[in-house]
Amino acid sequence: MGGIVLVTGGSRGIGRGICLELAKRGYSVAINYAGNEAAAQETKTLCEQQASGSTQRFVPFRADITDGAARETMVDAIFNTFGDLTALVNNAGVAPLVRADLLDMSEASYDRVMGTNLRSPFFLTQLVARRWLQLESSTQRTIVFLSSVSAQTASINRGEYCMSKAGISMAVALYATRLAAEGIPVYEVRPGIIKTDMTAAVEATYDRLIADGLVPQRRWGFPEDLGKTVCALLSGDFGFSTGSIIPVDGGLQIARL
């Protein structure tokens, strides 16, 4: 296996879990982070400890991906550092700063969440795909978007988050259609309730709900669950499944009576 993978928001949470699983399977990783350099360096160290090959490299790249110029600078730096890029994992995302009723949502919160969760990965993917199509190479290339069960589950106290993730689902469908003939599969990985710092504030609430059966498998999801799923998609074993939505939610969205 192997290759070079850009993971946005790779310094912590789900992003870190993805980076670590990639390291175990022989990939080199470009670890994007917005501002927490210490966390990014910690991810790098953990990846080095998990690495399965001596030629693997793990390099943090600081870039605010909501900024177009920063995206371009980062992609140039990654190609200059590694010589290539074989996969893009659009993981970076934010939750609303305040969980407000839909009737009280502010435009500022809407713009922040939509800008980070939807606009940024859409245009980063555009940038990377254009670059790939300029290359004459038989290298297998893959794009993965991380969305959320919130893409189809309404939460009226974080509507901007739900809309951003629903938009990701359409972005996957669009890019999968556009890039299919180019041999570049595009997938959506849809996490459920995952134990990260983003869910720490509501941990007790979800502990109770999970115990009561909200999640049929009756446990939290963990970042490594997402990492394993991403690695499976990058392996090429799902090469005829572009545009697929892969739920990683313990059965949360199964329709039940």
CA 77 – CA 19 distance, rounded (Å): 19
Asked whether the beta carbons of 5 and 234 are under 8 A apart, the reply is: yes
Active site residue 206: no
With CA atoms as reference, report the closest residue to 4 among 141, 124, 126. 141
Annotated catalytic residue, options 27, 33, 161, 175 = 161
CA 93 – CA 160 distance, rounded (Å): 12
Q: Residue written as tokens 């992609």?
A: 75
| Alpha helices (H) along 95-194 | 107-114, 120-134, 159-179
CA 113 – CA 163 distance, rounded (Å): 9
CA 160 – CA 169 distance, rounded (Å): 15
Q: What 8-state DSSP symbol labels residue 194?
A: B
Backbone φ, ψ for residue 252 (5° rounding): -55, -40
Catalytic residues: 161
